[in-house]
Every structure is written in structure tokens, then in C-alpha cells.
Amino acid sequence: MKRIGVFTSGGDSPGMNACLRAVVRSGIAAGLEVFGIYRGYEGMIEGDIVQFEKHHVSNIIQRGGTVLKTARSAKFMTPEGRREAHANLLKHGIEGLVCIGGDGSFRGAMTLHEEFGIKVMGCPGTIDNDLFGTDYTIGFDSAINTVVTAVDKIRDTADSHNRLFFVEVMGRDAGFIALHTGIASGAESVLIPETKTYIPELIQQLEKGWRQNKTSAIIIVAEGDDGGGAYEVAEKVKEKFNKYDTRVSVLGHIQRGGAPSAFDRVSASRMGAAAVKGLLEGRTNEMAGIINRQIVYTPFSKATKHNQEINPQLLELVEILSQ
């Protein structure tokens, strides 16, 4: 293998640039020519491909977002779109790819391998932390730090006004961001898609807090929770329990931006270099993740199909610590 391509795809996450830098620099160090593919599969179809030298990735390790840009491509879902993408890879002599993204991006990579035999490795880039085969995805740590900073601020005003706040966080259909930020910000309760939400139980808990003279409360609601988003849950609670003045805050895309944490930069650098190493060893269709501090390669089929499990001890901890 002489030439490889790298692209970022799906929702961006802080640390993608650090991962890109690692792919480019470790690839060049191993004697490869490395091509940056802009705007994910969309840029692959349109031939938006540029050879990267070491200096192309200077001064990006500290930057959020992705300098390669990203996109969700509808055209890549069609056989014609994929043929065009493959033709562009052939034109540049690209024999291997590193895909930095989440499960949808990996599924695209698997199809590319199936149809054209191109070797593909992945690095888990998503704030959601929902991929099986890695303890942490690139961007998760930065995102939870952003959420915690925001919730600390919300707590100040909640406390001043004796208010109950429902704070909605991202995560699509996974509750990792909610659970971790709930613990780190000392939330009264955390509502996540992985467990059934019982509004009467939540009200009971709030009533108990009220009786114990808690003057304010924070409930973290994962956007994918079965009880609905923060607005819906707040309405349901207000109907039966109105001791506190209630407010809702949806944190939204600030969770995806900002400088990556040191943890994300290190993980992303390790994973990027490991993906290149994997390609050089002849691996394909695998994600380079980190489990128990070691690089582990997990087949895309497992990384995307199996759910990363919520640690029940963390759920228990939220309950104990919020009393």
C-alpha cells in the first residue's frame, strides 16, 4: 500500500483534527502518501481530494470541528454515487482509507469495501460515546466538559431563583453524555433512553428534595429519552408538581464545538496512528478503539451493531449522591 486517504464524516466532534493530524503524520512517517478527502463521502464523490504534507496539519491539534469539513451524503447511499466515489479514489491511486466518524460513517465504509474491495479502517469520532469497542469515542470527553461548565452556570441561577431546571443534552439515542454529566454536575436526576422514565417516580424524588429543603434542582434529560425531550418532561412534571418555578435549557450544538480536551487529543492521536498501522498490517473493516488503555481493533460489524452498555454502577451512583 502506497497511498491512503483520510476523511471525517457525520457529526463533527472535538478531537477529529488531532486524529487527522495523527493519520497524516504517522502515514508519512511510514512512507505512505496521504490524501485528505474533504466533506466526507460527498467530497469523495465530487473528487475534492488533496495530497497532504506534514505542514497541512500544523496548528490544528487544538482546534475543534474538522478542517476537512464533514457532511452527511445522500448520494453516497446510491450505487451510482458510490461508483463515482470509487472512481475518484482510483484516479488518485488510493488503496486504503481511514474514516473518522460514527456508526453511519462506518456502515458507508463497509459498503465501499464490500463493493470495491478497498481497505478501510475507522476511528470512533462522535460526542455520543455510543460505539462498541472503545471505552471513549473522540469528542466525548470535550463534550461532557462543555456540558458540565454550562450546568454549573445554570445551577448558579437556579439556586438564586429557587428554580427547577430541566437541561437537555445530546447523545441521539444514547445516554452517555447525560449520565456522565449528571454525575459530574451533581444533578438531582438523569433521564436516559437506556432506562424507562417514570414521571411519578421523578416527582416523588423532587417532592422528597423539597421536603428536605432543597431550594433548587437540576434534571439532566438525554435528547433520546423515552419520556420525551426536556420540554415535554418539564410539562408532565409541572402538571403534578409545581412547588418550584420551572425552566428548560436545551444546550444544543455548543456540545459539539470548542477546543478538544487533552484526553481527547491523546486518544485521537493514538487511534489515528493505530488505524494507519492497521492498514499497513493488511487489516480492513475495523475500528481502532481504546479499551482499558490499550489499542483494540473491533470489526465495524460489531462496533456499529452492538450497543455500548451503560454502566449500572454509574446509574446507582446518581441516585445515591443526589439524595
Among 44, 127, 206, 219, binds ligand F6P (CB under 6 A): 127
**Is the distance from CB of 177 to CB of 316 less than 8 angstroms?**
no
Measure the CA–CA gap between 153 and 117, rounded to whole angstroms: 51
**Least separation in angstroms between CB 109 and ligand F6P:** 16
- Residues in 241-260 at the binding interface with ligand F6P, rule: CB under 6 A: 256
Q: Which of residues 3-32 bind ligand F6P (CB under 6 A)?
A: 11
Residue 180 binding ligand F6P, by CB under 6 A: no
Q: What is the 3-state secondary structure (H, E, C) of 32-83?
A: CEEEEECCHHHHHHHCCEEEECHHHHCCCCCCCCCCCCCCCCCHHHCHHHHH
Q: What letters, b where the CB count within 10 A reaches 16 and e where it falls short, cover 237-246?
A: beeebeebeb
Question: Is the CB of 96 or the CB of 101 nearer to ligand F6P?
Answer: 101
For residues 283 and 303, what is the distance between their CA atoms, to the nearest angstrom? 15
Interacting positions 263-322 with ligand F6P (CB under 6 A): none
193 is a site residue for ligand F6P (CB under 6 A): no
Which residue among 170, 217, 275, 303 contacts ligand F6P (CB under 6 A)? 170
Are the C-beta atoms of 256 and 127 separated by less than 8 Å? yes
The cell numbers describing 154, all together, are 445554570
Task: Return the number of the residue (141 or 223) whose C-beta is nearest ligand F6P.
Answer: 223
Active site residue 173: no
Query: Which is catalytic among the residues 12, 48, 103, 128?
Result: 128
CB of 256 to ligand F6P, least distance (A): 5
108 binds ligand F6P (CB under 6 A): no
Closer by beta carbon to ligand F6P, 97 or else 251: 251
**Structural contact between residues 21 and 53, judged by C-beta atoms closer than 8 angstroms:** no
Q: Supply the minimum distance, in Å, between the C-beta of residue 173 and ligand F6P.
A: 8
Stretch of residues binding ligand F6P (CB under 6 A), selected from 43-51, 62-70, 108-116, 125-133: 125-133
Closest approach of Cβ 128 to ligand F6P, in Å? Answer: 5
**Nearest residue (CB) to ligand F6P, 123 versus 170:** 170
Tell me which residue has cell 475495523: 286
Q: What single letter denotes the amino acid at residue 289? A: G
Asked if 45 touches ligand F6P (CB under 6 A), the answer is no
Report how far residue 280's alpha carbon sits from residue 96's, in angstroms, rounded to the nearest whole number: 9
Task: Tell me how far, at minimum, the Cβ of 298 lies from ligand F6P, in Å.
Answer: 19
Size of the site for ligand F6P (CB under 6 A): 10
User: Using an 8 Å Cβ cutoff, are 260 and 12 in contact?
Assistant: no
Nearest Cα neighbor of 64 from 265, 289, 274 is 265
Per CB under 6 A, 133 contacts ligand F6P:
no
Establish if 172 lies at the interface with ligand F6P (CB under 6 A).
yes
- By CB atoms closer than 10 A (0-12, 13-18, 19+), residue 1 is middle
CA 187 – CA 205 distance, rounded (Å):
12
Q: Does 171 bind ligand F6P (CB under 6 A)?
A: yes
126 binds ligand F6P (CB under 6 A): yes
Chain residues binding ligand F6P by CB under 6 A are 11, 102, 126-128, 170-172, 223, 256
Residues with a catalytic annotation lie at 128
